């Protein structure tokens, strides 16, 4: 590397922990924004980056939902997006964990609806919560937690996904397919942005034993 190109690396772990400062540094360097690169570890700059990133990520999904009339936006997508850009090289943010966790959440939630005879009932928060809903919610979260550990794909936001399903908010099979497609789109976005920033975001499985990875 020429001597003139030598610049200090990103602040790790940054003022709020995680790898957001490293991602912002990588983006600033990739697009030759020296002023942003120099301020990449400032808390107020990281806050603005997080605001814009979250706004764009979810706005895209929401726009697709409006155009298609399909549920491309749902609550557990938010914490997944934050994980992908806060700790992208941590195991829970890996594509395998993200997709596997949400898939387990969907399946466990739907199984709970079947077990308690709730597949044709409206959302619990709209029609009222009864003991069947309590049982379905508890079963779905228990199954999701256990299955993610057994399959070695922990992804905390999937705990919200399974409750979205078991409480009847999204319960039709086609809605669950759209939900998984939305998660996949978010993973692709996370992959592109993290790789542009020089973060060694995995293609599939997490790289166990590493918590950060700025590519040379």
| Percent of the chain residues past pLDDT 90, beyond the cut | 68
Section 28-43 average pLDDT: 90
Structure tokens belonging to residue 175: 């809605």
**Predicted structure pTM score:** 0.87
Within-domain flag for 65: no
Structure tokens belonging to residue 126: 């709209």
What are 155-188's pLDDT values in tens digits?
A: 999 999 999 999 999 999 999 999 999 999 999 9
127 compared with 14, residue with greater pLDDT: 127
Determine the Cα–Cα distance for residues 19 and 53; give it in Å rounded to an integer. 14
Mean pLDDT, the chain, whole residue set: 90
Section 99-126 average pLDDT: 96
What are 61-94's pLDDT values in tens digits?
A: 899 999 999 889 899 999 999 999 999 999 999 9
Within-domain flag for 133: yes
| Percent of the chain residues past pLDDT 70, beyond the cut | 92
Tell me how many domains the chain contains.
1
Within-domain flag for 25: no
Determine the Cα–Cα distance for residues 20 and 1; give it in Å rounded to an integer. 25
Look at residues 163, 175, 185, 187 and name the one whose alpha carbon lies nearest to residue 97.
187
Domain of residue 155 covers 73-196
Within-domain flag for 10: no
DSSP 121: S
Say if residues 104 and 144 touch (Cβ distance below 8 Å): yes
pLDDT at 90: 94
Within-domain flag for 57: no
pLDDT at 9: 77
Within-domain flag for 207: no
């Amino acid at each position: 590397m020429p001597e003139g190109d030598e610049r200090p690396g990103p602040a790790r772990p940054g003022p709020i922990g995680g790898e957001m400062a490293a991602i912002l540094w990588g983006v600033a360097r990739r697009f030759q924004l020296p002023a942003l690169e120099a301020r990449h570890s400032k808390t107020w700059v990281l806050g603005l980056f997080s605001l814009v990133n979250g706004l764009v990520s979810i706005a895209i999904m929401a726009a697709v939902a409006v155009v298609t009339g399909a549920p491309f936006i749902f609550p557990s997508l938010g914490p997944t997006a934050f994980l992908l850009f806060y700790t992208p090289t941590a195991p829970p943010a890996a594509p395998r964990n993200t997709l596997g966790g949400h898939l387990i959440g969907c399946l466990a939630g739907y199984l709970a609806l079947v077990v308690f005879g709730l597949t044709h009932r409206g959302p619990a928060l709209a029609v009222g919560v009864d003991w069947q809903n309590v049982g379905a919610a508890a079963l779905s979260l228990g199954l999701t937690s256990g299955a993610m550990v057994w399959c070695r794909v922990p992804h905390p936001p999937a705990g919200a996904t399974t409750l979205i399903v078991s409480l009847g908010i999204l319960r039709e099979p086609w809605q669950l397919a759209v939900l998984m497609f939305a998660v996949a789109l978010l993973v692709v976005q996370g992959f592109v942005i993290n790789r542009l920033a020089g973060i060694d975001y995995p293609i599939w499985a997490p790289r166990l034993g590493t918590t950060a990875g700025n590519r040379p």
